[in-house]
């Protein structure tokens, strides 16, 4: 690591490293890398860091975080923090909150004052609120003030939001402030990763199609906005990186015309969709909960699908979107603070620049 910068970025161009640099193998906890005599320089690399980043040979690395898949039985012990924990100045409660979201894909917050002001303040504990065509922080009823099914009293099946964006929103926080003169409106949560794992086991061909076929989407309910993802053909329902499922992207209400399917794939794709829907709506997958004022819920929009039952009366909801990068940044900072990586612990404090280890896995 050459001359670590106070900004945490590289301060030496990799292209200027001389080809004659060589390693000195010492039986110590570090590996010295010595430059040529005309430009003497020695960098020390921890063996544990080199093992973690080795490419020849390549060592299998454990998942960075544990993902706990769940079905309807999670109602027995859903992940929860209190408002007091989330608002505590030391941010240990925020770390617990976001760690739950990272593991389970959602987390409740109890004892929240049933006001938009308190809910917005809670949202900002995670990061910047993402502004969309629906505004920044929302406070709405079923008055169709916006051209979206969320602004109605009708039932909504399990879906993820903003599938029509190139980069769908990362987290969604919502809080029921009041419900008068009626009933219904139970909240539905479904772990998309759990459903996908069952689909992959029972119907591998269907899984492969949903992981490969791109699905176009649109948002056209507002005269001032017309959203479609780029590229125009959209993205698969199940998005993978290096073979790992990283995102579920599904909202049938926002789906556009499937005109990109090859003729021989049409029947197979719709059959795959039916199998996906059957698992998505099974009693084993659906977690229903009747929210009440004072309980907010945060959902990972890249993993957990949400919906609701139809309702009567007047409901007032508020909430916000938070970008996936803001969420992951906050979690990374708090992990660094409360649960640092082993290499960071082993090399502290001499490898720190402005309070951050140069061996942080994110760098």
Q: Does 237 share its domain with 296?
A: yes
* pLDDT of 222: 84
The secondary structure element, H or E, covering residue 274 is helix 266-280
Each residue of 287-342: pLDDT tens digit? 999 999 999 999 999 999 999 999 999 999 999 999 999 999 999 999 999 988 77
Give, in degrees to the nearest 5, the angle at Cα 184 between 178 and 189.
90
* pLDDT of 54: 81
Q: Give the CA distances from residue 169 to residues 96, 262, 303, in Å, rounded to whole numbers and listed in that order.
A: 21, 30, 11
Statement: residue 37 has pLDDT above 60: no
Q: Does 182 share its domain with 313?
A: yes
**Any domain includes 227:** yes
Taken in order 257, 169, 156, 304, is the CA torsion positive or negative? positive
Q: Distance (Å, rounded) from C-alpha 107 to C-alpha 97?
A: 7
Q: What is the DSSP secondary-structure string of 61-85?
A: ---SS------GGGGGS--EEEHHH
**Any domain includes 335:** no
**Any domain includes 249:** yes
**Any domain includes 45:** yes
Q: Does 217 share its domain with 261?
A: yes
CA atoms within 13 Å, Cβ hemisphere of 125: 27
* pLDDT of 86: 99
Q: List the one residue out of 75, 77, 117, 79 whose CA is nearest residue 97.
A: 79
3-state DSSP assignment of residue 103: helix
Range of the domain at 32: 14-61+341-357
3-state DSSP assignment of residue 16: helix
3-state DSSP assignment of residue 45: strand
The beta-carbon contacts of 142-149 under 8 Å, at least 24 apart in sequence, are 142/311, 142/314, 142/315, 146/221, 146/222, 147/220, 147/221, 147/222, 148/219, 148/221, 149/253
Q: Does 56 share its domain with 87?
A: no
Q: Does 293 share its domain with 259?
A: yes
| More confident site: 281 or 45 | 281
Q: Residues with Cβ < 8 Å from 356, sequence gap 6 or more? A: 8, 336
**Any domain includes 5:** no
Taken in order 110, 113, 114, 117, is the CA torsion positive or negative? negative
Statement: residue 45 has pLDDT above 60: yes
Q: Does 117 share its domain with 212?
A: yes
* pLDDT of 156: 94
Each residue of 233-281: pLDDT tens digit? 999 999 999 999 999 999 999 999 998 899 999 999 999 999 999 999 9
Which of 2-16, 61-75, 162-176, 246-260 is predicted with the least confidence, judged by mean pLDDT? 2-16
Q: What value does the mean pLDDT take over residues 18-35?
A: 55
How would you write 285-341 as a 3-class SS string? CCEEECCCCCCEEEEECCCEEEEECCECCEEEEEEEEECHHHHHHHHHHHHHHHCCC
Number of structural domains in the chain: 2
| More confident site: 44 or 21 | 44
**Any domain includes 3:** no
Q: β-strand 80-82 against 106-110: which pairing, if any?
A: parallel
Which of 37-46, 202-211, 229-238, 349-358 is predicted with the least confidence, judged by mean pLDDT? 37-46
Domain with residue 193: its CATH number is: 3.60.130.10
Q: Does 115 share its domain with 253?
A: yes
Maximum CA extent, the chain = 83
Q: Does 346 share its domain with 281?
A: no
Q: Give the CA distances from residue 138 to residues 53, 237, 289, in Å, rounded to whole numbers and listed in that order.
A: 43, 27, 22
Q: β-strand 156-159 against 304-308: which pairing, if any?
A: antiparallel
Q: Does 254 share its domain with 345?
A: no
| More confident site: 72 or 44 | 72
* pLDDT of 279: 99
* pLDDT of 64: 65
Statement: residue 230 has pLDDT above 70: yes
Check: CB of residue 42 under 8 Å from CB of residue 32: yes
Q: Does 286 share its domain with 213?
A: yes
Work out the pLDDT band at 1, boundaries 50, 70, 90: very low
CA 75, 78, 84, 88: dihedral to nearest 10 degrees? -170
Q: List the one residue out of 82, 100, 88, 176 whose CA is nearest residue 125.
A: 88
* pLDDT of 2: 44
**Any domain includes 328:** no
**Any domain includes 1:** no
Check: CB of residue 126 under 8 Å from CB of residue 322: yes
Q: List the one residue out of 181, 156, 185, 173 whose CA is nearest residue 295.
A: 173
Token pair recorded at residue 186: 């139970």
How much is the mean pLDDT over the chain?
88
Each residue of 85-114: pLDDT tens digit? 999 999 999 999 999 999 999 999 999 999
Each residue of 160-217: pLDDT tens digit? 999 999 999 999 999 999 999 999 999 999 999 999 999 999 999 999 999 999 999 9
* pLDDT of 41: 61
Q: Does 49 share its domain with 111?
A: no
Work out the pLDDT band at 27, boundaries 50, 70, 90: very low
Q: Does 103 share its domain with 33?
A: no
Q: Distance (Å, rounded) from C-alpha 339 to C-alpha 318?
A: 32
């Amino acid at each position: 690591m050459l001359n670590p910068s106070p900004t945490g970025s590289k301060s030496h161009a990799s292209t200027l490293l001389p080809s004659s640099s060589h390693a000195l193998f010492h039986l110590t906890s570090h590996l010295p890398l010595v430059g040529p005599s005309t430009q003497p320089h020695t960098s020390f690399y921890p063996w544990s860091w080199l093992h973690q980043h080795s490419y020849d040979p390549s060592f299998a690395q454990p998942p960075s975080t544990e993902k706990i898949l769940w079905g309807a039985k999670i109602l027995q012990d859903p992940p929860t923090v209190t408002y007091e924990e989330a608002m505590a100045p030391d941010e240990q409660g925020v770390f617990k909150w976001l760690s739950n979201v990272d593991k389970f894909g959602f987390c409740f917050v109890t004892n929240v004052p049933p006001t938009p002001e308190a809910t917005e303040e809670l949202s900002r504990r995670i990061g910047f609120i993402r502004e969309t065509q629906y505004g920044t922080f929302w406070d709405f009823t079923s008055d169709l003030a916006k051209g979206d099914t969320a602004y109605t009293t009708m039932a909504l099946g399990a879906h993820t939001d903003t599938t029509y964006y190139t980069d769908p929103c990362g987290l969604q926080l919502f809080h029921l402030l009041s419900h008068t003169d009626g009933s219904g409106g139970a909240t539905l949560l479904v772990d998309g990763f759990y459903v996908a794992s069952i689909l992959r086991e029972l119907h591998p061909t269907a899984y492969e199609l949903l992981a490969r076929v791109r699905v176009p989407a649109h948002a056209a309910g507002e005269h001032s906005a017309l959203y479609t993802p780029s590229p125009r053909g959209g993205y698969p329902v199940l998005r993978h990186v290096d073979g790992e499922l990283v995102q579920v992207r599904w909202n049938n209400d926002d789906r556009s015309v499937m005109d990109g399917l090859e003729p021989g794939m049409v029947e197979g794709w719709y059959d795959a969709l039916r199998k996906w829907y059957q698992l998505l709506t099974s009693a084993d997958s659906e977690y229903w909960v009747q929210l009440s004022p004072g309980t907010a819920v945060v959902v990972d929009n890249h993993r957990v699908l949400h919906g609701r039952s139809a309702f009567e009366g007047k409901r007032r909801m508020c909430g916000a979107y938070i970008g996936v990068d803001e969420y992951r940044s906050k979690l990374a900072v708090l992990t660094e603070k409360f649960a640092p990586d082993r290499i960071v612990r082993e090399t502290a404090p001499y490898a720190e620049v402005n309070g951050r280890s140069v061996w942080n896995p994110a760098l």
